[in-house]
Chain A
Amino acid sequence: RRSEKPNWDYHAEIQAFSHRLHENFSLDLLKTAFINSCYIESEEARRRELGLDKETVALNLQDNSKLAEEGMSFSRSYLTQCFEGAYPDLPAEGLGALVDFLTSQELVSYVAQNLSVQDLTLCKEFPVPPNVLQRTFFAVIGALLDSSGPEKTGIFVRDFFIPQLIGKDLFEIWKVVNPMGLLVEELTKRNISPPEPRITRQLGVSTVLPLYFVGLYCDKKIIAEGPGETLLAAEEEAARVALRKLYGYTENRRPWDYSKPKQGLAAEKAISRN
């Protein structure tokens, strides 16, 4: 554990942490954010074993569960609003799947470890398990929310979570069981006739590795074309390509716009919190 190696000054490290992120944290909130409940229990047990009095046993420390919930709910709502603005056609399940992926344990613990949150957390076990890291990171976000306000926290969340989506495909994140059914629903919502699949190209039909390109046509106009090994696989892939085009999540879409902070969100947040 880094805190047990030589050269460790907790207060200085916490100050450096806040300077590194170019954010003004209130140091008490930040210190509370790093304290987990298992640490408090283990510290009290250790002090009781050493035979100290009851007063010194009771530590005056609060743990980070409240801050963690605040941070988690804020980041989820902020990310949902971001995606609603950027991909207006995406249905609610897709949005939920994207936000769940971004707040999942592996991703958040990866981000937290590379920001040295693991060295600063106070926890019983080492190496820190990923759910504790996730809770600590959200507690840090909650502390930032209370120190600097929703706008700066929103920029922080955007800068650290949205680049994790680069290079990822929509259906890697959102597992869809029946893309053809979903596509038919989407097309009926937009009053377009249901798709007709036709084989566009095929190669090597009688070999071990055939390749079929199936195109989906609505009113005799093509909407998407997808490859596959068997005819069924090709049809499913074509349905997925069509869904990607409809939701605007293709590979050649515009990259995410990080330039201007979103002013509307701050007003909404203020209203919802009051």
Chain B
Amino acid sequence: PAGAGGPPPRQFVEEAALDFARRHPDVVLYVSPRSGRAPLLVAEYLNGTVREELIASKTSEEIAQLATKLAGQSGLDIIRIRKPFHTDNPSVQGQWHPLTNKPSALTVRGPRLQPQ
């Protein structure tokens, strides 16, 4: 909710909010006045996460940039990505285990075969 704070959030609501809403038809923008609290930009994602950002001391363009950034994110938690790659088929010829490439009669001791 954009609050009745200083001029910058008000300017954003007056000028840039309509453009933002037109450029992102898949995001619903609600503007509601709250008195006595700091102006906040609350982003609710599809999987339920809610992110709040203070916009009191930001200019109108910064608020627009922040809004576009939040609109482009998915709702997953912001944690450190351990590795920048991932594969669902880790091995093509079969994963190595300690018995690959060993001859198959390695430890088979039949009851009738005498070791020569």
**Which residues in A have some Cβ–Cβ distance to B below 8 Å?**
6-7, 9, 12-13, 15-17, 19-20, 113-116, 166-167, 199-203, 213, 215, 251-252, 255
Closest residue on chain B to residue A12 by CB atoms: B28
Pick the contact of A113 from B47, B94, B104 — CB < 8 Å? B47
**B116 located at the interface, meaning its Cβ lies under 8 Å from any Cβ of chain A in the complex:** no
Closest residue on chain A to residue B110 by CB atoms: A199
CA separation between A166 and B90, bound complex, in Å?
13
Cβ–Cβ contact A7 & B46, under 8 A = no
CB-defined contacts of A166 to chain B, threshold 8 Å: 88
B72 to chain A minimum Cβ distance, whole angstroms, is 12
Number of interface residues of B (CB under 8 A): 21
CA separation between A252 and B91, bound complex, in Å?
7
Cβ–Cβ contact A201 & B89, under 8 A = no
B26 to chain A minimum Cβ distance, whole angstroms, is 4
Asked whether A200 and B104 contact (CB < 8 A) given A114-B46, A213-B99, the answer is yes
A4 to chain B minimum Cβ distance, whole angstroms, is 14
CA separation between A43 and B107, bound complex, in Å?
74
Cβ–Cβ contact B91 & A19, under 8 A = no
Cβ–Cβ contact A19 & B92, under 8 A = no
CB-defined contacts of B27 to chain A, threshold 8 Å: 16
- At the interface, is chain B mostly helix, strand, loop or mixed? loop
| Inter-chain CB contacts under 8 Å: number | 48
CB-defined contacts of A115 to chain B, threshold 8 Å: 46
Cβ–Cβ contact A9 & B30, under 8 A = yes
Asked whether A13 and B28 contact (CB < 8 A) given A7-B1, A202-B107, the answer is yes
Cβ–Cβ contact B26 & A202, under 8 A = no
CA separation between A252 and B27, bound complex, in Å?
40
| Interface 1/0 per residue, B17-60 and A, CB below 8 Å | 00000000111101010000000000000110000000000000
Pick the contact of A201 from B25, B46, B107 — CB < 8 Å? B107
Asked whether A201 and B104 contact (CB < 8 A) given A7-B32, A13-B28, A113-B47, the answer is yes
CB-defined contacts of A17 to chain B, threshold 8 Å: 26
Cβ–Cβ contact B104 & A19, under 8 A = no
CA separation between A215 and B108, bound complex, in Å?
13
Pick the contact of A252 from B32, B89, B104 — CB < 8 Å? B89
Cβ-closest 7 pairs across A and B: A20-B26, A7-B30, A19-B26, A19-B25, A116-B46, A252-B92, A16-B28
Cβ–Cβ contact A202 & B108, under 8 A = yes
**B93 located at the interface, meaning its Cβ lies under 8 Å from any Cβ of chain A in the complex:** yes
CB-defined contacts of B47 to chain A, threshold 8 Å: 113-114
CB-defined contacts of B104 to chain A, threshold 8 Å: 200-201, 215
Closest residue on chain A to residue B75 by CB atoms: A114
**B106 located at the interface, meaning its Cβ lies under 8 Å from any Cβ of chain A in the complex:** yes
B86 to chain A minimum Cβ distance, whole angstroms, is 10
Cβ–Cβ contact A203 & B107, under 8 A = yes
CB-defined contacts of A114 to chain B, threshold 8 Å: 46-47
CB-defined contacts of B32 to chain A, threshold 8 Å: 6-7
| Interface 1/0 per residue, B89-116 and A, CB below 8 Å | 1011110000100101011100000000
CA separation between A180 and B92, bound complex, in Å?
25
Closest residue on chain A to residue B45 by CB atoms: A116
